[in-house]
Structure formats: structure tokens, C-alpha cells
Amino acid sequence: MELVSYHADDGIRVAGLRGDSLIDLQDADANLPSTMRDWLNAGRGIWSSTQAAIASGEAIPLQDVRIAPPVPHPAKIVCVGLNYADHAAESGSEPPPEPVIFNKFPTALRSHGETIELPSLSTQVDYEAELVVVIGREGKHISESEALEYVAGYCCGHDVSARDWQLNKPGKQWLLGKTFDTFAPVGPKLVTADVIPDPGNLRIQFRLNGETMQDSHTSQLIFSVPHLVAYLSGVVTLLPGDLIFTGTPPGVGVARKPPVFLQAGDTAEVEIEHLGVLSNPVSREPS
């Protein structure tokens, strides 16, 4: 299934995708939840009725609605650094022995089509295409063998990064450099886990103004999705709707000679096999 969140008169609601149209789940079946958070909390037991609602419900043209992030208000946005073997090689780093974890605040979240704003406090804003995992069940101390049972689905994500903050500030401000407002576009849709049986077998790309800058494969992940879910759940309770950015492949702007950073007027696109294209314009933050 493919699900989106969209702006309706009564708030942000969850809908399924059918071709170029969306079907509001609760309008199609009054027993289904109206929001993505409630849909995730309901668990996989409602997936079959959701599929039926998408197949039979009244279609709304996508062009007539404004899309929101698939999970509009996640409790946590957890990110993984240096998690592609080819990216670690590019950066001159040894593959880390354990996942390198940081986070973004929910205020960084943006949807497909919304603008990435370059902050006045940074001159080195970089791009990073990422596979995003959406947690579907609450869990703590999850085993790696059971980890995918806790995953509801996957999205395209863009880990926008202020390199001058991340790498050059005292103490290397990873969190602040990664969490300026608008620095976490996600979307355009959530593709459920039954459609993606192996998240380690997906092509991932980033295009800047139509030019391919990153082109790799999730088979290059150093720490797999099951490993990341299990590892994180040993520290924090994972909740439905939590987002895990799983790392970026090589080709980032800071590693290029000369470096390439995002500029006002750019168009940034993340494409992941089976998950669609996440596209965002870039502008300068209003003064």
C-alpha cells in the first residue's frame, strides 16, 4: 500500500494512493482511523480493510490537495551517520564499529514540495539522500530477528546538513547542524513494509537541478535496518511513527572538489526504488 497525509478542512488526515488520486481512509470506511498516527497505532490488523478502502473509496485528484509529511508529528527523528560503506570510503573514515546516532527535532520536518530554507547562520548547506524507516509498533529491546515486524513502512528522506556547524563548530555541533528548520524533508508517501520485503535491496539517488549527484544502493548499508531497529530499541522505546534516517551514500557536496552546497533557486530530489521521488525547492531563509 501507499499512504499519504494531506491537509483537509478539519486537519491533517490519512489517505491511500490509487494512481493519481487519493482516497481518504475514514471517508471510505468509517471504522478506519482519520490520522496516520492512529493508523499506525492500530497495527497491521487493519491493513486488509485499508486495502479494501483504497480499492473502493471515492477518489480525490492529488492535484486538488496539499500533501503533508507522511507522519506529520513524529515523537522521534533518529538519524544514522556514516552508514554506507562507499560513503565512509569517500569521507576517508573507517567504517564505525557501532552505529553513529544523532537526531533531528520535529520542527525540521517538511513535506514533498515544501521549501528547504537556507539559514542565515550557515553558508555550507549540504544534501544527503536517505532511506527513512517508519516504526509501526512500540518496542524495547527488540531482537534483530524480529525487528522488521516493528516496521510499518519506508519513505524517501533528505538529511539536509549545515556542514560548517556539523564539522567546524567547537565540539562539532552535529545535532544543531542537522536540525535547522526545514532540514528534514520526508515523503512523498509511506510505502508499507509488505511491498518492500528487503530494505537492503533498493537503489537510492539524489539529483540537484536534474544532475545526479548520488547513485548507490542500500546493499551498501554497514548496519542493516533490522540491526538499527534492534540497536536503537536497546536505548529508547521505539513508538509508532518514529522515523529513522538510515544514512547517506557517497557523492555529498562537502566531499566534492570543489565542494557543492545548496543554493537558493535549486531543486533537490531524492529518489528511492519503489518509494517515489521526494522533491523540494530551495530558497534563502527570510530575513
Does 139 share its domain with 186? yes
Taking the complete model, does pTM exceed 0.85, yes or no? yes
Q: Check pLDDT > 80 for residue 287.
A: no
Q: What is the mean pLDDT of the chain?
A: 96
- pLDDT surpasses 90 at 286: no
Number of domains in the chain: 2
Domain, as residue range, for 258: 77-284
Same domain, 95 and 40: no
Residues 30 and 143 in one domain: no
Residue 224 belongs to domain with CATH number: 3.90.850.10
Regarding whether 63 and 94 lie in a shared domain, the answer is no
Q: Could you read off the pLDDT of 73-84 as tens digits, one per residue?
A: 999 999 999 899
151 and 27: one domain?
no
The three cell numbers locating residue 55: 480499492
Where a domain ends, among 11, 33, 68?
A: 68
The residue from 15, 43, 68 where one domain ends is 68
Q: Are 179 and 273 in the same domain?
A: yes
Q: Which of 51, 68, 85 is the last residue of a domain?
A: 68
Indicate if 138 and 57 belong to the same structural domain: no
Same domain, 46 and 180: no
Is the domain of 64 the same as that of 88?
no
| Burial category of 142 from C-beta neighbours within 10 Å (exposed 0-12, middle 13-18, buried 19 and up) | buried
Confidence of residue 89 (pLDDT cuts 50, 70, 90): confident
∠ CA(98), CA(102), CA(104), 5° rounding?
A: 155
CB 104 within 8 A of CB 77: yes
Q: Are residues 201 and 231 in the same domain?
A: yes
DSSP 127-193: --EEEEEEE-S-BSS--GGGGGGGEEEEEEEE--EEHHHHHHSTT--HHHHH-STT-EEEEEEEEET
Lowest average pLDDT, out of 68-72, 102-106, 158-162, 173-177, goes to 173-177
Percentage of residues of the chain with pLDDT beyond 70: 100
pLDDT at 172 over 90: no
Considering the domain architecture, whether residues 274 and 198 belong to the same structural domain is answered as yes
Q: Coil, helix or strand for 32?
A: coil
209-268 pLDDT, tens per residue? 999 999 999 999 999 999 999 999 999 999 999 999 999 999 999 999 999 999 999 999
pLDDT band, very low/low/confident/very high, at 92 (cuts 50, 70, 90): confident
Answer yes or no: are the C-beta atoms of 104 and 265 closer than 8 Å.
no
**pLDDT tens for each residue of 100-135:** 999 999 999 999 999 999 999 999 999 999 999 999
In which band, very low, low, confident or very high, does the pLDDT at 139 lie, cut at 50, 70 and 90? very high
Q: Are residues 60 and 139 in the same domain?
A: no
